[in-house]
Structure formats: structure tokens, C-alpha cells
Structure 1
Amino acid sequence: MPLIKLNFLYGCVAVSMGLNSSLVWAAKVDIETQPIQQLIPIKVEATRTNTTYMETPASIFRIESPKADQFAQVNLTELVKGIPSVQLRNRENYAQDLQLSMRGFGARSTFGVRGIRLYTDGIPATMPDGQGQTSNIDLSSLDHLEILTGPFSSLYGNSSGGAILATTKEGQGKDSIEMSYAGGSHHKNRAGLILQGGTDKQNEPSYIISSSYFDTDGFRDHSGANKTLNNAKLTWNLDDGSKINWVTNYVNIDAADPGGLTRAEWENNPKQVAKNVMDYNARKKIDQTQTGVTWSKPINDQNELYAMAYVGQRQVIQYQSIPDMVQKNPNTPYQAGGVIDFKRDYYGTDFRWTGKDLLPKTQFTAGVSIDAMNEDRQGFQNFNDQGDKGIVGALRRDERNTLWNVDPYLQASWSFLPKMRLDTGVRYSNVHYKSKDRYIVGLNGDNSGKTTYEEILPSVALSWQIVPLTLVYASYTKGFETPTFTEMAYPAQGGGASTLDLKPSKSDNYEVGLKSSNRCGDFNLATFYIDTQDDIVAAENMGGRATYRNANKTLRKGAELSWNKKLWKDLSINTSYAYLDAKFDTKVPKLGNVAEIPANNLIPGIAKNQAFIGVTWQPELGFYAGVDTHYMDKVYVNDINSDSAASYTIASVYTGYVRKYVDWSVNGFVRIDNLFDKNYIGSVIVNEGNSRFFEPADGRNLSVGMRVSKQF
């Protein structure tokens, strides 16, 4: 880092820590007379403590949805940039969703999101077993995101190595209609429609209804996809202070799965796919509907109630590229076939009470969270006796899976001194699994079973507001992560159709941080140390089927730094850097065909260093523009660290124009990603058994779009 920049940062920290009263006073006056230098004080929802960002003793970030279009609003990767220790990778594979990890949690996932909690308008987008997806987050109606990068398990329980809370907009003002279109490279097309309006009548809700359709041929061969996403939100603000949100979401995805490539295949042609992927027409179809209600009511100045309830259904059919000879092998009668077909019903509720000043300068929150899901899962051969491939063949698996949890929790916050606060919490997390095997044929015996995982999860954080604009804090939390049903579906060394042998991982999380907001900008620094026992890690991955095992001990430690500032008028800068050392702290013995993992090997799928810098010119009207650059360190592809995806630096640039006239608004943009056409690996498939670890990223690609809205 250049010396001038270091000196500038040191100077900002010195101002924020108040080396003398005149500096503190000067900073305060500057902010009061020039509010553009500081973010408007806003309360964050992720820690459920009703505090502002500057009072929150955790590494938390808020991303506002841009008022002017900068991207096509298809993937969360377009919006989530520059958050330290958040590694969000676009696989260029719409059959497998994005690859998301925070401080290394979730890096093992071959599809979807694991180890991290996702919520939209307070409704979970993560199943009770810890499996989640980002595909149902509607970017076109999004208001903001809150990202909690560290575990705070007393808040969220199982699989909370971090959390993303998406909040969609509420209908406001006059009724309006908005139409949008964006297109780009590889025949990408996205069309959207939004209807919205506010109300000043108690018996009528404000509303926002969003619908979009997206399709693409895909960057790689056999990677085309189409997606329909609908989201509706009704909001009632009642006379008694109550607020009700009713949110309904529907997503349908039909996508080809290009799979991974070997290094030689990638170097030869990054757009190609393996022959067996084409032979079996690997693909996935997803259909999900979810609805939920949140209700909050202040009883008086001291007490408030909150309730949430949701219900949903998810159906998936996936055609994998597992060769028929593997499924015909008489030595593997338990082989569950190359087609996965399941239907999942899920539902849950959360009740909590918050009391303020029941004791001097205290706040208490007590609640209980209940979640459940029922799943009918079947497996079929992906061929028939006539030699046809990529179809639903003979039944090879049939089971009924159920899961439920009842988690009581308690939080307390005590401002025991004017500038110091103690936040504590405890949650009893318990997850109950049961599997009923309905396919007992020949040597394929009864693999029914049940198990319960439970843990008491404490947390404590001590914070000190040194001056009004600077907070230092230290925290400890106990983390807990159970395996998902998908991870328990296939044993690492053969066996039955399901296994309950995987243990939950447990972690001790320590964090020390400093955050400041002053005339030098907004500054956040956090260091962390995470010691995990029985970490759930990938064992092997063959033809799209992954197996998992426990590692005795892993260690994650690192630092996060971010800084953003309004430089001049409408010109702003956003920068971040993260260092993450994630390794196996002890040797993991060989298990069947799965190799031994030496101690001190790095955990695959995690970059040790990442950095971001973005500069934006963003006036309310007229032309706007921006450029950002992202660096990602190399990533190992397997536990034995025998190969890796190289580090890369990529840049993006965009420009657009906003025009408003009476009740009309027009916004058009042009964007180029991977500006210098870097050939790099976007994500990796950890421990892929055929050495097809690599999922190539797109080259230089263009997107253009326009949005037109009319108020009535």
C-alpha cells in the first residue's frame, strides 16, 4: 500500500480516536455542517438489538440498492462487491446457484449456500438443515442488504457462520408502473415489470409487485437457462403502531449444467463441457413457492412484540452425469441412480418479546424459533434398457425425510457506563433428523434412522464508544453447524442410501474490531480467530454427487478492512481488503478411498487475500459512471492442495443516464465486465473425483439496459 495512503488512513484513525478535544470538536463540526461526509444514522436489523451501525459490536455492512441502474439485476454478485471476507462467486452455472462463503464458512458447498443464514423481509431463505439459495432474492424490488460477516449463533442458531438479510421496498407515494429490459452477451435477456403504490388509509395496504423473466444461452456450451421470478409485498401500518408485512415469492428455474473441467480442458477451451455431461444432458429444474407474514407491535414505550410465520414448497429434479456402468455395478447395489427428484414442504415461525429499561439502561429480548420440513426424495437411473440416456429410468431410491427444531433464545444489552455496553445472548439450538427408507431391494437394506443434534450457544460482546464517531469492541460466540440432508444423503465410503454418521461442527469465534465515521470517511477494521471442531468438509465429488466427512480441527484467522468516502460532490470511493488463513489444524486420517489430509494444509475453495476498489460518480440526475477492480488470491481445489486456481484481477466499468420529467423517469445504462478479457477460473468444485475442479468465468462481456417508470 502506498505510503501516502497509509499516512492518510493513520490520520483518519487518529482523528476518529480523538487525540485531543480540538480534533474531536473539529470532526464533529465538519460532519454537522457537511452531512455528505457521513452516512445517515440508520438502525441495523441483523443483530436484532435496535441499534445504529455505529453502536453495533459486530462486523456488519449495509448495501443500498442503487437508485440508478448499474447492472442487469440477475445475480447477487452484481450487487455484493467489496465486502471483506465475503467470497461470492458466479459459477456461470444457473443449475447450481452462486458459491458463497464468509470467513471460510460455506466454501465446501457444491451447489446452493450452506453454513450461512439467508433472510428476505424476515422470512428464512435457508432451510432448517442449513441449506439455502440466493435465487429467490428479487434484485429489482430490493431496498437494501445487511451482511453480518461473523457468526452470531445466539441470534440465528444452526448454520450461522454469517448472515445476509435482504429487505425489499415498500410501496410509497402515487401508484406507478415500471418496465425494464436488459440484454447482453450470450443472448442474455431480462424483462421486468413492477407495480407499486402507497396509502394513507389504515385498512388499505401499500403494495409492490415485481415480476421478471430471464434467459440466456450461457457463456459455456450446455449452460443455457431461463428463470421466472415473482415477488409481492403488502404492508399495513396500523393506528396502534402495529406493522404487518405479507410477502409472497415464486421462482422457477430450468437450467443446463455444464459441470467442471480439468485443467487441460480449461486451457484448451474454457467454453467446452465434458463428454458425459452432454451424453446424459445434465440439468436441473427448480420450482419454489413461499409466503410469509411478519407482525410487530409496540405495547408501550417499554415493550414490543414480534411474530413471523412462513410456509413454502420446493420441488427439484436434477439429471446428473453419472455413467450408467457405475449404476449397473453389482458391487454397488446401494447406488441411488443419476436422477434426483424431491419435493420438500417447509414451514416455521418465530415469536419474540423485547423489553426496554425494565432495569436501568437495559434491553431484553426473549423468543422461540420453530422450523420444520418434510421431504419425499427419490432417485432413478438416468438411462433405460434401450440405451437412452439423460432420462428418468428405474427407481433406485425412495425415502421420506423429516426435520424440525424448537430453539428458545435470550438476548440482553446493558449500557453499564455512558459509553460502554455489554451485549450477551444464549440460544439452545436443537435439530432433529429422521429418515424412513422405502426402497429395500436385494442387497440394498433398510437405511432408516434418526438422530438429534443439540448445543447451547452463548455469545458476549463488550463495546466502548471512545468518541461519538468511533467504536471499539470485542466479542465471543459459540458456533454450531449441522450437516444438511443433502450432505447426509451419500456416505463417503459406500454403505446405504443415507447416513447419519456425520457430526455437527462446533466453533469458538473471537473478534476484535474498530469502526469509525468521520470527515475522513467510514472506516471498519476487524480481526478474528475461529477454532472449529469436527468441521464438515468435502470428501469427494463424482459426476455431480458429493460426499462429506468430519475434520477433527480446523482454524480460521484473519483481518478485514474497509474504507469508503465521499471525495468531492457526487464522487465517492469504496475500498476493502481481507486476509483469511483457513487451514486444517490437525491431520485428517485416510477414509476408504478418500486420501489423508496433512496438518496445516489450506482449506480448499478459500482465497487467502482479496481486495476491492470502486470509484463512482453518482448525481441524482444526468450522467453517472463508475469503475471497480477486484483482486482474488489463488484457491486450492482439494484437501491435499495438489492444484489450485490462479489468482486474478478483473475490472468493470459502467455509465448511464437518468432523466425525470413530471411523472416520468427514464434510466439507461451500459456496462462492461471483465474489461481486459482476463481468462480465469470463477469458482472451483472442491475435491472433484475426476479432477474436473474448474468452473471458468466469462470473458469480456457487455450488458445494456433501460428502465422507464410512470406515476399516476
Structure 2
Amino acid sequence: MPCGALAAPPTGGNAAAATELDRVVVTATRQPDDALLVPAAVDVVDAADLHRAQPGLSLSESLQRVPGVVARDRQNQAQGLQVSIRGFGARSTFGIRGVRLYSDGIPATMPDGQGQVSHFMPGSAGRIEVLRGPFSALYGNSSGGVISMFSADPPVAPELSMGIDAGSDGLRRESLSWHAPWRGDRDGGALVDGEVVDGDGFRDHSASRQVTGQAVFKGGFGDGGRYTVLLNSHDLRADDPQGLTAAQLRGDRRAASAGALNFDTRKTVHQDQAGVHVEQPLSAHHALSLTAYGGTRDTTQMLSIPVFVQANPLQGGGAIDLDRQYGGADLRWRWSTQVLERPFSLVAGVEYSESGERRRGYENFVGAQLGVVGALRRDEGNRVSGRDAYLQADWQPGDRWRINLGLRHSQVRFASDDDYVTADNPDDSGRLRYSRSSPVAGVLFRVTPTTSVYANAGGGFETPTFSELAYRADGASGLNDLRAARSRNAEVGVRGRGQGLEYSAALFDSRTRGELVVVANEGGRSIYANAGVTRRRGAELSLSGALSPRWRYAAAYTFLDARYGSDFATCAAAPCGDGDVLIEDGHRIPGLSRHAAWAELRWGIDADTDLILDGRFADRVYVDDGSDESAPAYAVFDLAAERRFEAFGLQWRGYARIENLFDREYVGSVIVNDGNGRYYEPAPGRGWVIGLRARKAFD
């Protein structure tokens, strides 16, 4: 990734990647040699790997080829994808936590660190970029890693595309796209994509329907100016089967929990978003860029909190109504010059982001009728804002050397105004403020024109989210008085390519103070506190290449040792006392596999036909801090074929895929520290999916 992209969130510009420091860099790695110039762990999943013999329904299909990244499909669209990078984000029970997310440069992570990818459209993406390690701290709060998805560039001629997919468990998908350049001599074009995805779900009570649309407009103006405009909309309606206990898992793996059926647990989401990125060179050495965005996300959710639990006057109810508005802007200046007659660039910028929400909670019953919206039990207005300033310098002191230095200062402010105050329910309003500076430094040495070694180090931090601030560990009213988790990170790595081979390897170490952990679970409430010290260290390896003109391979492996470095106490309910359970130093952090691997073997039968065998392995995953239970290790394989051909004046692409080829029973994801012991989310047995795409290009 060119250094300019590390200093701030990636943007949606269209310029080619720079190899000279006096050019404006607005995107991450786009050319093969760019990765050899970056002192950080960066991987790119390009369009060929995103769309080959798979439906493109989820990031989990493609991110498994990136070492250090875990993307688990939970078979539950109401809770969404579960993503972690080098162990950061694994404890999130919903949404994505600890990882920064971007779509065409527009943030999909709120200022408090909670993110969503439900509106992402992998089937229409041009590439996905992943940044791991210390340099991700330059993206601000909760940057355990960065995942950026970019739309494709406009084609040279207008194209109309249609697609249909079908699969086991009632999977149905229809998609339609129109991609076209601007008329005349204008650079750029328009990309309009839409899709409808329906499914009955592998498990009982897991049906869902998603409707997603996106429009991207790219082009140039004036003297070298560029713009990108992004519009998208997403609707979701999904049933929630919830997790299973170990006993339930041994019985019926397809079952939903009793609470899910009794209360008809479900979720609806409607999200609209708009964003724009503009860049303008001011001279041969100076350039400005601006990114601005805004959106709304309205969520309703029915939970299975028992009726008797809601007899407590402090209980917030089992039906959620959440209306959120969010937005922000990022202004960046880039200066390119020479220092000691060697290329030097400096990027400086400021960013502001804000999210405001109205959160209401209702009883999930009316009389004896369950799963309906009842009396009001919670009503509050919440606001979180982030103010950031960043600076990054990139210098080439020699032909083989590259040095990067960066600093980002972040302020995150929380404000909650409680409008539901009664004699038995005190005022829970509160204010909290967090501030942190995150420095990073990296150095790269190009051993040969095709091999680079690098090292980097830096600090990072992670504030609590509003969900984690909702309840205090001492049982008192007001926001939970949590500290931000602070981490120190370091890595060394090597990256290169030879004849028919591309490879990368990295060793990393991360120490965190004040890790946020669940200390109590009761009546639908998860209560958080700061643990002492945690440590994540490990190794990553990726390989890809050609065995012969028709045979290609790719593989990724991750070793991760993630443990608590000091004792802390948990309990069934706050405030903790006689029922404390001591989690001792050395216990493994739950939700993480010690070993994970993925491999693919591709046979090009001819120029238009591919046969693909891929497999993945995940080691045992502990599901709670006490390491009392775990999901066993597993290995599964998929077999796929793809055929490309022309007929009736159209270009066609058809594929068929058998998933879990040997019908292995395994747990695909876990719910860490679930208070009811419903830790396990089983994955499907053997399944199938087929798809057909048709494309018409207009001259």
C-alpha cells in the first residue's frame, strides 16, 4: 500500500497507484510491485478470486485466503458476519468490533468502533484490501485491522449484467447491474448494482430476505481533479435462531433455541447512505482531498428475554427500536518534495465523525402473548463523536530503503441522555471522554527487486461501544466507567515473488492493557469491565503460484497464541461478590483458534473451464473465559467448477459448487461468554449452490 493510503482511511479515487512520491495516492495497493514498497502486512483479494466459482454473498467466501483474518458465516443473518484480525474483534456478539471497515472509502464503522458489513456487495466488488498490524492504528479507534472493499472501475463500453443463484436450504438470489462509461471524452463512469437474496436458512427459524442497491459515479474535472460519489441502500428482514447449548447441539443441529421460537426472535434493518470523495492537485507538489458521508440506519429487534426477568424495574425490555443517524468528513493535504535529495512525502489531515441515536426498549409481551411489542421500558438519546488529527511521513533514504513515520491523535466523546426516569428507575444519563495518541514507525529494505523485508511498531487503543457502557459492574446507574484498552504492537515480515511464486510471512506481537471483557451476564444484560493484560502473538504465511500452465495453488496459514496476562474475576450477576470466578493468568482468550489454515488447488481444464478444490482447517475454539467448554477442531473441503462461454450474443459464466464435500458436522462460529450457555452456532452439512451470469456489452 502506498504510504499516503496508510495515513487516513482509504478513499474511492480512481488514480493508478503511485510509485513516485510526487503523485497523489488515494487508494491502496493496485499494482503487484506496490506491496513490495510497504512496511506493513497488506493483502489484496482481486476480482478474479472474488468472483470465481462462488456466489459472492459474504466476505467469508474470500477473506479466508488472507492470513491472520477470520471471517465466520454464523448462519444467522440477524447477527451478521463474525470477523477478527489477529485476534482483535473475536468477542463481538453482533456486528464487527475492533476492525475498521470501509466501502469505497466511506466508513462502515461508527466512532465508538462498532461496524457493519450488511450493505457490502462482494459480488459486485472490484477488490478487497486488508491491512494488519501496527499501521492499522493510523485509522483511529478500534483499529485491530482494516478491511476495505472497492467497486470495479467503469468499463470501456456499457455493460448490462444479470445473474441468478440457487442453493440448498432455499437459497435464492437475483442480481442486475448496469456499468457504463461517461459519454464523450470524459473519464470515469457509472456503476449501478442491485440484488435480492432470500433463504430459508440451514437452521429452524433462520429465514431471511435482503435487498441491496448501490450506485457509484466516478470521473474527473478541471485540471487533474477526481471525484467518486457512492449511494447505497439496504433492507434486511431476518429470523434469529440464537445459539445452542452443548446438549442441544448433540441433539438437533438444525434446531433453534426454545426462546427463539417462543418469542419469535427477529431483526429488521433499513440503511441508506451517501458519500463523496473529491481530490484536487494544487501544484506539482501539493494536493488536497476531501471525503464526506452521511447515512441513517433503523433497526428493530425482538429478543427472548423472559417475562419474569422484566419484572425488575431496571430492566430495559426485550424489544429494541433503534434509529441512528451518522456522518463525517475527512480533509487531507499531501506534500511531495525531497529531503537530502531523496524523495519525501508528508500527509496531514483532520477527521470528524459522529453518530446519534434514539434507543427505545419495550417489553416483548402483552399479557400472555409473547414476541410482540409491549410497554415502554427504555428511552434514551445517545451521541458519540470522534475528532482526529493525523500526520504521516514517507522517505526513501536510498534506492532500497523506505521509512514511514506516523501519528494519529483521537478524541472520542460519549453522551447519553436518559428520558425514561421513574421512581424505581434512576437517571442513567452520563458523559465520558477518551483521548489517545497512536504513533507508528516502519522501515522496509528491498533485498532484491522482487523481495522486501520490513519491520514496524506502534500503539493503538480501543474505546468501549455504547453497548458496553450501558450497564455498570457495581449495579449503580449511569454509564459504565470503563477505560480504553491500550495496545503495543510490533511485527517483522518478508514479502516477495519469483518465477511462478508469490509469498509473504510475518511474525507479530501485541500486548494490551485494559482489555474489555464480560464480567457478568444476567437477564439479557452483558456487563463489561477492564481486564489487566492480554497478549496476542503469532505467525502468518501465505503462498500462491503455478505448478504448471494449467495448475495453480494458493495457501494461507495463521498461528495465534492469545492469552490473558493477569487474573480477573467474573460472576453471574453484578455486583460481583461471593460468586466471583477467578480467571487466572495464562487462560486463552475465547473465540480464537490457535491454528487456522486454508488452501486451494485450481485446474484449468481449458482456457474457459476451471475445477477448484479448496479446504480449510480451524483448531479448537474455547467459548468462555474459564476455558470450560470449546468447539472442536475441524477440516472441511469444497469442490467447484466454473465454465465461461458465449452464446446468443451474450457472455456467460456458470458455476456449480459442493460445500462441505464430506458432510462433516462442525461448529462454524461461537457466541463468546453467552450467559445462557448457548455458545454454539452449527454450520451446515453437505450443501450445494449453482449460479449463472449473463453479460451484454454495447459498442
- Offset, 1:128: 1.0
Which residue of 572, 575, 598 corresponds with 1:612?
598
- Offset, 1:560: 0.4
Alignment CA distance shift 1:417-1:683 (3 Å)? same
Where structure 2 has 5 or more consecutive residues not aligned to the other structure, the ranges are 1-17
Which residue of 602, 621, 629 corresponds with 1:643?
629
Which residue of 232, 240, 243 corresponds with 2:223?
240
Residues 44, 52 of structure 1: 8 Å contact kept: no
- Offset, 1:204: 7.9
- Taking the aligned partners of 1:701 and 1:665, their CA distance within structure 2 comes to 28
- Offset, 1:302: 1.8
**TM-score using structure 2 length:** 0.92
1:428 aligns with 2:409: yes
Residues 91, 682 of structure 1: 8 Å contact kept: yes
Alignment of 1:554-703 (within 5 A): 554-590=534-570, 592=576, 595-618=581-604, 621-660=607-646, 664-703=650-689
Alignment of 1:132-211 (within 5 A): 132-199=115-182, 201=184, 206-211=189-194
Corresponding residue for 2:13?
A: none
- Taking the aligned partners of 1:677 and 1:493, their CA distance within structure 2 comes to 48
- Taking the aligned partners of 2:161 and 2:523, their CA distance within structure 1 comes to 43
Corresponding residue for 1:357?
A: 337
Deviates most, 107-116 or 412-421: 412-421
Which residue of 253, 257, 273 corresponds with 2:256?
273
Residues 181, 187 of structure 2: 8 Å contact kept: no
Alignment CA distance shift 1:662-1:685 (3 Å)? same
1:321 aligns with 2:301: no
Cα RMSD of the aligned pairs, angstroms, is 2.2
Residues 100, 143 of structure 2: 8 Å contact kept: yes
| SS class of match (1:307) | strand
- Taking the aligned partners of 1:164 and 1:335, their CA distance within structure 2 comes to 36
Deviates most, 638-647 or 201-210: 201-210
Q: Which runs of 4+ in 1 moved over 4 A?
A: 40-44, 46-51, 202-205, 540-545, 618-621
1:456 aligns with 2:437: yes
- Taking the aligned partners of 2:415 and 2:26, their CA distance within structure 1 comes to 37
Corresponding residue for 1:10?
A: none
| SS class of match (1:516) | strand
1:335 aligns with 2:315: yes
Corresponding residue for 1:118?
A: 101
- Offset, 1:279: 0.6
Alignment CA distance shift 1:339-1:676 (3 Å)? same
- Taking the aligned partners of 1:428 and 1:603, their CA distance within structure 2 comes to 29
- Taking the aligned partners of 1:456 and 1:176, their CA distance within structure 2 comes to 47
- Taking the aligned partners of 1:229 and 1:540, their CA distance within structure 2 comes to 37
Corresponding residue for 2:205?
A: 222
Percent sequence identity over matched residues?
36
- Taking the aligned partners of 1:286 and 1:45, their CA distance within structure 2 comes to 30
- Offset, 1:621: 4.6
Corresponding residue for 2:446?
A: 465
Residues 309, 523 of structure 2: 8 Å contact kept: no
Q: In structure 2, give the amino acid aligned to 1:510.
A: A
Alignment of 1:369-448 (within 5 A): 369-384=351-366, 386-448=367-429
Q: In structure 2, give the amino acid aligned to 1:676.
A: F
Q: Deviations over 1:366-400 (max 9, x none)?
A: 0011101111111111011x211111111111101
- Taking the aligned partners of 1:678 and 1:588, their CA distance within structure 2 comes to 37
Corresponding residue for 2:48?
A: 66
Residues 44, 53 of structure 1: 8 Å contact kept: no
Residues 550, 605 of structure 2: 8 Å contact kept: yes
- Offset, 1:277: 1.4
- Offset, 1:670: 0.3
- Taking the aligned partners of 1:449 and 1:44, their CA distance within structure 2 comes to 39
Deviates most, 82-91 or 160-169: 82-91
- Taking the aligned partners of 2:226 and 2:26, their CA distance within structure 1 comes to 17
Corresponding residue for 2:503?
A: 523
Alignment CA distance shift 1:171-1:670 (3 Å)? same
| SS class of match (2:369) | coil
Residues 511, 533 of structure 2: 8 Å contact kept: yes
Q: In structure 2, give the amino acid aligned to 1:183.
A: A
Q: In structure 2, give the amino acid aligned to 1:443.
A: D
Alignment of 1:13-32 (within 5 A): none
1:54 aligns with 2:40: no
Corresponding residue for 2:72?
A: 89
| SS class of match (1:155) | helix
**TM-score using structure 1 length:** 0.91
Corresponding residue for 1:15?
A: none
- Offset, 1:85: 1.5
Deviates most, 57-66 or 104-113: 57-66
| SS class of match (1:79) | helix
Deviates most, 546-555 or 599-608: 546-555
- Taking the aligned partners of 1:636 and 1:229, their CA distance within structure 2 comes to 35
Alignment CA distance shift 1:524-1:203 (3 Å)? closer
Q: In structure 1, give the amino acid aligned to 2:87.
A: G
Corresponding residue for 1:294?
A: 277
Residues 170, 234 of structure 1: 8 Å contact kept: no
Residues 521, 565 of structure 1: 8 Å contact kept: yes
